[in-house]
């Protein structure tokens, strides 16, 4: 099983929003970056991901989600009314992809970005790399474990 981190702006879509969806499942649309798209295509059903809250008062890791369906074409990409519309993408030749995610649980507390930065065990974590803006990225087993432990502390 692989581990991932997926960013979302909680004002638009938070972990509680996912929790309140029917079947606690939702598709992860709107990814318009090649690296992030390629990571999504590498995801397998059953993989776990951290749900990360970004661009908000307290950015950080909020909870755990499961990959419920592997990558399939992001249909918002050929919908002219969607803010994620991209003329290069057609139903017969999709350009962008999405996965379905299922709510697993919230962490006991949100682990804020400031704490992640202070933890020496996470020194090489991709999320914390200078200038990183990827919205989807892999997480190592050690990083995963470290962050789970941080959520239990305090």
Partner DNA sequence: GCCAACGTTGGC
CA angle 134, 11, 40 (to 5 degrees): 30
CB of 130 to DNA, least distance (A): 5
Stretch that binds DNA, among 12-20, 53-61, 68-76, 139-147 (CB under 7 A): 53-61
Residue 64's CB is within 10 A of a number of other CB atoms, namely: 20
Q: In what order do the strands lie in the sheet with 60-73?
A: 25-27, 97-112, 60-73, 48-53, 3-8, 136-139
CB of 135 to DNA, least distance (A): 4
Map residues 90-119 to x or -, x wherever contact with DNA holds by CB under 7 A. Answer: -----------------------xx--x--
Binding residue for DNA (CB under 7 A) from 32, 48, 69, 109?
32
Does 132 interact with DNA (rule: CB under 7 A)?
yes
DSSP letter for 129, please: S
* Those residues with Cβ within 8 angstroms of residue 28's Cβ, 6 or more apart along the chain or in another chain: 6, 40, 98, 99, 100, 101
CB of 72 to DNA, least distance (A): 20
Residues that bind DNA (CB under 7 A): 7, 32-35, 54-56, 59, 113-114, 117, 130-135
């Amino acid at each position: 099983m692989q581990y991932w981190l997926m960013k979302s702006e909680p004002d638009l879509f938070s972990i509680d929003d996912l929790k309140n969806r029917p079947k606690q499942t939702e598709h992860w649309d709107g990814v318009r970056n090649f690296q992030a798209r390629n990571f999504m295509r590498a995801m397998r059903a059953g993989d776990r991901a951290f749900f990360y809250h970004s661009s908000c008062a307290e950015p950080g890791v909020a909870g755990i989600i499961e990959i419920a369906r592997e990558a399939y074409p992001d249909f918002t990409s050929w919908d002219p009314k969607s803010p994620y519309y991209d003329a290069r993408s057609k139903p017969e030749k999709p350009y962008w992809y999405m996965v379905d995610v299922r709510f697993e649980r919230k962490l006991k507390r949100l682990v804020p970005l400031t704490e992640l930065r202070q933890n020496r065990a996470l020194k090489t974590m991709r999320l914390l790399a200078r200038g990183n803006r990827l919205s989807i990225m892999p997480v190592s087993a050690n990083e995963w474990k470290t962050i789970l432990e941080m959520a239990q502390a305090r």
